[in-house]
Structure 1
Amino acid sequence: MINILLDFNIRRIRLSDTVGTATPSLCRHKFERLSVSAKPQPKFGFHGHNDLGMALANTIESLKGSSCDYADTTLLGIGERTGNCDFLQLIRIARPIFNFGVSIERAEDIQKKFLKITRLL
């Protein structure tokens, strides 16, 4: 399927765990397998749902693979149904592993501004 998308000049492909039942090892394995078979190499991304509380772990493991280039996050983990990977949590937990170019303080500030806008504070 990836090669068919590439034939249509699709260069960004997002894998989604829309029911939130994936495991971290499965996410990483899927990206490793896709990177071997896709030529030319597209930009791969991950979109994880938090049905079983695994969105953060699945996102981190997906990003650890050499072929996952980006991941979807949301402020406060808000998203449809059970939510998605929380931006601030990802920055806090994954900072020793990745350099996202965003400090924990800046991520906290963004979340506080979001809370003020939505009047949740």
Structure 2
Amino acid sequence: MVEGQEDVRFVTKINQWMYEEKLVEATFAEKGLFILPVGGCGSLLAWLNFALFSKLNEPWFILIDSDKGTDEAKQSQRHLHRIRAKYPWMQAHIHATFKREIENYLVFKEGKKTHVFAPYEDVKQHMYDF
């Protein structure tokens, strides 16, 4: 589970690249795995409140943005804490990015110029510049 559509694209592309570089043995699709956008960290509370994680009857993994440097950061951490408290045996399957959002891991190369985003920079503000 990830937050949004862009995260699905990002994780899928990274997985495909890792497969092509022989860093992983298979793609998510080949393994029968799918990336589910849940609509933000707040939506994960619905999964918790309605016990939807348990109803999946399948292993699950959560990757959300840390939102560091934003007003939402503390709220995101509280939501993850509640999920971890309810599912303590799933600790290794519940993660927030170290950087603000998954897009902060992007590196743009254009000719000889390379742009690496700062860990807490609002990358989406710059996406149309590239």
Q: TM-score, normalised by structure 2?
A: 0.32
Q: TM-score, normalised by structure 1?
A: 0.34
Whose radius of gyration is greater, 1 or 2? Answer: 2
